Chain A
Amino acid sequence: MKPFHSITAVAAPLDRPNVDTDQIIPKQFLKSIVRSGLAAGLFYDWRRLPDGRPNPDFVLNQPLYQRAGILLARENFGCGSSREHAPWALKDFGILCIIAPSFADIFYNNCFKNGMLPVILPADAVDELFRAAAARPGLQITVDLAAQSVSLAEGRGFHFELDAYRKQCLLEGLDDIALTLRHEAAITAFEARI
Chain B
Amino acid sequence: MPQTLFEKIWNRHVVLHEAGKPALLYIDLHLIHEVTSPQAFESLRETGRKLRQPGRTFATMDHNVPTDPRPFKILDASSRRQLDAMVENCRDFGVPLFDLESEDQGIVHVIGPELGLTRPGMTIVCGDSHTSTHGAFGALAFGIGTSEVEHVLATQCLWQAKPKTMEIRLQGRRGPGVTAKDLILYVIGQIGTGGATGYAVEYTGEAIRALTMEERMTVCNMSIEAGARAGMIAPDDTTYAYLRGRRHAPQGAAWEAAVTQWRGLPSDAGAQYDHSVVLDAARVAPQVTWGTNPGMVAAVDATVPDPCSLADPVARHSAELALEYMGLRPGAAISGLAIDRVFIGSCTNSRLSDLEAAARIVRGHKVARGVRAMVVPGSRRVKREAEARGLDVIFREAGFEWRESGCSMCLGMNPDILRPGERCASTSNRNFEGRQGQGGRTHLVSPEMAAAAALSGHFVDIRTWRAKP
B193 within 8 A of A: yes
Q: Give the complex CA separation of A133 and B6 in angstroms.
A: 43
List CB contacts (< 8 Å) of A1-32 with chain B.
15-18, 20, 22-23, 26-28, 30-32
A104-128 vs B, CB cutoff 8 Å, 1 = contact: the mask equals 1110011001100000000000000
Q: Indicate if the CB atoms of A176 and B127 lie closer than 8 Å.
A: no
A187 within 8 A of B: yes
Q: Indicate if the CB atoms of A82 and B194 lie closer than 8 Å.
A: no
B303 within 8 A of A: no
Query: Can you report 23 residue pairs joining A to B where beta carbons are below 8 Å apart?
Result: A17-B314, A17-B315, A18-B293, A20-B293, A22-B411, A22-B432, A22-B433, A23-B434, A31-B81, A31-B413, A33-B81, A34-B38, A45-B434, A74-B314, A79-B194, A82-B129, A84-B39, A109-B144, A109-B148, A176-B151, A180-B151, A181-B155, A186-B24
Residue ID in chain B nearest A108 by CB atoms: B197
A131 within 8 A of B: no
Task: List, in ascending order, chain A residues with CB within 8 A of B464's CB.
Answer: none
Q: Indicate if the CB atoms of A180 and B143 lie closer than 8 Å.
A: no
List CB contacts (< 8 Å) of B183-220 with chain A.
193-194, 197-198
Q: Give the complex CA separation of A27 and B435 in angstroms.
A: 8
Q: Give the complex CA separation of A74 and B318 in angstroms.
A: 11
Q: Indicate if the CB atoms of B42 and A34 lie closer than 8 Å.
A: yes
Task: List, in ascending order, chain A residues with CB within 8 A of B468's CB.
Answer: none
Q: In the complex, what's the smallest C-beta–C-beta distance from A94 to chain B, in angstroms? A: 20
Q: Indicate if the CB atoms of A28 and B413 lie closer than 8 Å.
A: yes
Q: Indicate if the CB atoms of B39 and A106 lie closer than 8 Å.
A: no
Q: Indicate if the CB atoms of B434 and A104 lie closer than 8 Å.
A: no
Q: Give the complex CA separation of A30 and B81 in angstroms.
A: 12
Stretch in B14-22, B248-256, B330-338, B396-404 touching the partner: B14-22
Q: Indicate if the CB atoms of A102 and B26 lie closer than 8 Å.
A: no
Q: Indicate if the CB atoms of A76 and B227 lie closer than 8 Å.
A: yes
Q: In the complex, what's the smallest C-beta–C-beta distance from A113 to chain B, in angstroms? A: 4
A155 within 8 A of B: no
Q: Indicate if the CB atoms of A83 and B434 lie closer than 8 Å.
A: no
Task: List, in ascending order, chain A residues with CB within 8 A of B161's CB.
Answer: 163
List CB contacts (< 8 Å) of A28-53 with chain B.
28, 30-35, 45, 50
Whether A34 contacts B39 in the complex (CB less than 8 A), given A82-B145, A109-B145, A110-B145, comes out as yes
B427-458 vs A, CB cutoff 8 Å, 1 = contact: the mask equals 00010111100110000000000000000000
Q: Give the complex CA separation of A170 and B324 in angstroms.
A: 40
Q: How large is the interface on A (under 10, 10 to 19, 20 to 34, 35 or more residues)?
A: 35 or more
Q: In the complex, what's the smallest C-beta–C-beta distance from B125 to chain A, in angstroms? A: 10
Q: Give the complex CA separation of A105 and B196 in angstroms.
A: 10
Count residues of chain B with CB under 8 A from any CB of chain A: 64
Q: Indicate if the CB atoms of A31 and B76 lie closer than 8 Å.
A: yes
B139-165 vs A, CB cutoff 8 Å, 1 = contact: the mask equals 000011111101100111101010000
Task: List, in ascending order, chain B residues with CB within 8 A of A183's CB.
Answer: 15-16, 24
Q: Indicate if the CB atoms of A32 and B78 lie closer than 8 Å.
A: yes
A177 within 8 A of B: yes
Q: Indicate if the CB atoms of B78 and A114 lie closer than 8 Å.
A: no
Whether A105 contacts B145 in the complex (CB less than 8 A), given A31-B76, A187-B15, comes out as no
Q: Indicate if the CB atoms of A16 and B318 lie closer than 8 Å.
A: yes
B353 within 8 A of A: no
B82 within 8 A of A: yes
Q: Give the complex CA separation of A189 and B173 in angstroms.
A: 47
Residue ID in chain A nearest B314 by CB atoms: A17
Task: List, in ascending order, chain B residues with CB within 8 A of A180's CB.
Answer: 24, 151, 154-155, 157, 159
Cβ-neighbour of B193 out of A26, A76, A181 (below 8 A): A76
Cβ-neighbour of B159 out of A82, A176, A194 (below 8 A): A176
Q: Indicate if the CB atoms of A45 and B128 lie closer than 8 Å.
A: no
A160-194 vs B, CB cutoff 8 Å, 1 = contact: the mask equals 00011100000000001100110100110011001
Q: In the complex, what's the smallest C-beta–C-beta distance from B209 to chain A, in angstroms? A: 28
A66 within 8 A of B: no
List CB contacts (< 8 Å) of A130-166 with chain B.
163-165
Q: Indicate if the CB atoms of B145 and A113 lie closer than 8 Å.
A: yes
Q: Give the complex CA separation of A106 and B147 in angstroms.
A: 11
Task: List, in ascending order, chain B residues with CB within 8 A of A165's CB.
Answer: 20-22, 159
B257 within 8 A of A: no
Q: Indicate if the CB atoms of A84 and B197 lie closer than 8 Å.
A: no
Residue ID in chain A nearest B86 by CB atoms: A33
Task: List, in ascending order, chain B residues with CB within 8 A of A18's CB.
Answer: 193-194, 293, 295, 318
Q: Indicate if the CB atoms of B154 and A177 lie closer than 8 Å.
A: yes
Q: Give the complex CA separation of A34 and B21 in angstroms.
A: 31
A54 within 8 A of B: no
Q: Give the complex CA separation of A183 and B158 in angstroms.
A: 12
Q: Indicate if the CB atoms of A50 and B147 lie closer than 8 Å.
A: no
Cβ-neighbour of B146 out of A20, A84, A187 (below 8 A): A84
Task: List, in ascending order, chain A residues with CB within 8 A of B412's CB.
Answer: 27
Task: List, in ascending order, chain A residues with CB within 8 A of B36's CB.
Answer: 82-84
Q: Indicate if the CB atoms of B314 and A75 lie closer than 8 Å.
A: yes
Q: Give the complex CA separation of A106 and B148 in angstroms.
A: 10
Whether A176 contacts B147 in the complex (CB less than 8 A), given A34-B39, A82-B36, A105-B227, comes out as yes
Knowing that A17-B314, A109-B144 touch, tell me 6 more A-B residue pairs with CB under 8 angstroms.
Answer: A18-B293, A30-B64, A45-B433, A84-B147, A164-B20, A187-B26
Residue ID in chain B nearest A176 by CB atoms: B151
Task: List, in ascending order, chain A residues with CB within 8 A of B85's CB.
Answer: 33
Q: In the complex, what's the smallest C-beta–C-beta distance from A128 to chain B, in angstroms? A: 14
Q: Indicate if the CB atoms of A113 and B148 lie closer than 8 Å.
A: yes
B271 within 8 A of A: no
Q: Indicate if the CB atoms of B430 and A22 lie closer than 8 Å.
A: yes
Task: List, in ascending order, chain A residues with CB within 8 A of B78's CB.
Answer: 31-32
Task: List, in ascending order, chain A residues with CB within 8 A of B20's CB.
Answer: 164-165
Task: List, in ascending order, chain B residues with CB within 8 A of A74's CB.
Answer: 314
B352 within 8 A of A: no
Q: Give the complex CA separation of A7 and B393 in angstroms.
A: 61
